[in-house]
Structure 1
């Protein structure tokens, strides 16, 4: 006998998954909501998810618990010998996002609702388990960035509050996919979290190499006033170049409100 399908929507703390939860709330009453908590999210993320939970009228399951124990970043970092994750060694995504997600589903059949928009050009399947079937309501219904922002505003939830100080994505406050301007903004908005991120940049217990969040640039160098000023100037210049190219934007960009310079790299399960 085939098992019935569960309906599960993963939340990252970002705008797209939050908007999708609101969009699907009355369409799929049996929807389950899950958040993969690393223990290193921004305080604004936790606050945003709390407000979303109240709006949905259902609890958001926290998945990063195994046998009653919280398995977050600090616990896993010890297992990996102090080796920080990077785009070449993304153990954080695999161990704190994907595996808890698959453990939450188990062997059940599942429709997994993914918040990819119709104006994005990237693949969105998060898990390759045969019992997990991805669905993309925004793509199917032709919804673009402007629609997502409208859904959030009309619901009263609004955009994630970390966007007010220049953060463009959800995920750990030390995510290696951050732009350098976001590191500057983090230091300005949350100097304590910047210091915590900086403290991780040290050799692992069996390592002779120091791992840095920003490639080969230590945060100790990035936070120097002259370097931060240069990053701010470089970012402003990049934005200006993007705006100057706006005359060649497609109709989709014009109608959909897509930011040409918005980076969409990163892990889908962390940042949608």
Structure 2
């Protein structure tokens, strides 16, 4: 018997897909890969989603926590070139939960994006992309969430763009600044991991060539925020200068979403 699995990340796309398929695939199993390093807002959002689905969401947890794997990998922080966090904290629990059962894995990639990601290559797991198949884009996702009463994830209210661990290396610097403002305790924990790694990997940090200690200097925080605000003003000006025919024709663009691991950020 084939199982139907939808992995929830706490992000808008996987949440919208769950709502979209709620009545279409009644045998769906909903799972949430809980790394133990999620934002508090993610846990709140998952609880609300579970209520709207009217179905329980199974939580998978890694056999060993992040700290264990950090030690195993020689205190080297994960990065976009070394995504051991995705493999050990999300993909392995996902594959263990499924086992060898024939499985259809529903993925929330939209028709307006070309992301790829860390998808299982086990032969018993087949990935399908309902939003792409049905031509649904970002505006459709937002409509689904609003119509359901769930809305967008609450962390987006303070400027976090995607779900994932609070220390995700895919964050933009402005998001690190916002983490510092919104959750200073989590920012401090991310600093501790970075300082632990610094003892074995000189100049390797969470966000490029700048440590969190350097980033949190008041003058640097302000500089990052000022640069981001200026960039947003330039984008708004470009949109305002588009001719009406271009806007009607679809040339007006939505803000591009940053890169992220597929299994983490959907």
TM-score by length of 2: 0.91
Native 8 Å contact 1:171 1:270 kept in 2? yes
Aligned residues: 261
2:255 is the alignment partner of 1:260: yes
Within 5 Å, give how 1:20-31 maps onto structure 2.
Answer: 20-31=17-28
Native 8 Å contact 1:5 1:108 kept in 2? yes
The 3-state SS of whatever aligns with 1:35 is strand
In structure 2, distance between residues paired with 1:262 and 1:205: 30
Within 5 Å, give how 1:80-159 maps onto structure 2.
Answer: 80-123=73-116, 126-159=119-152
Native 8 Å contact 2:115 2:262 kept in 1? no
Q: 1:240 to 1:12 in 2, by over 3 A?
A: same
Equivalence for 2:57:
60
Q: Which runs of 5+ in 2 are unaligned?
A: none
Equivalence for 2:229:
236
The CA deviation string for residues 98-152 of structure 1, in whole angstroms up to 9 with x for no partner, is: 1111111111111100001111122367111111111111111111111111111
Equivalence for 2:157:
164
2:43 is the alignment partner of 1:46: yes
In structure 1, distance between residues paired with 2:130 and 2:140: 12
Native 8 Å contact 2:75 2:197 kept in 1? yes
Task: Calculate the aligned-residue CA RMSD, in Å.
Answer: 2.0
In structure 2, distance between residues paired with 1:11 and 1:250: 34
Higher deviation after alignment, 84-93 or 55-64: 55-64
Q: Which runs of 5+ in 1 are unaligned?
A: none
The CA deviation string for residues 34-65 of structure 1, in whole angstroms up to 9 with x for no partner, is: 11111110000001001111111222111124
Shift of 1:249: 7.1
The 3-state SS of whatever aligns with 1:157 is coil
The CA deviation string for residues 72-117 of structure 1, in whole angstroms up to 9 with x for no partner, is: 2122212222111111211001111111111111111111000011
In structure 2, distance between residues paired with 1:99 and 1:251: 44
2:29 is the alignment partner of 1:32: yes
Higher deviation after alignment, 123-132 or 91-100: 123-132
Higher deviation after alignment, 99-108 or 201-210: 201-210
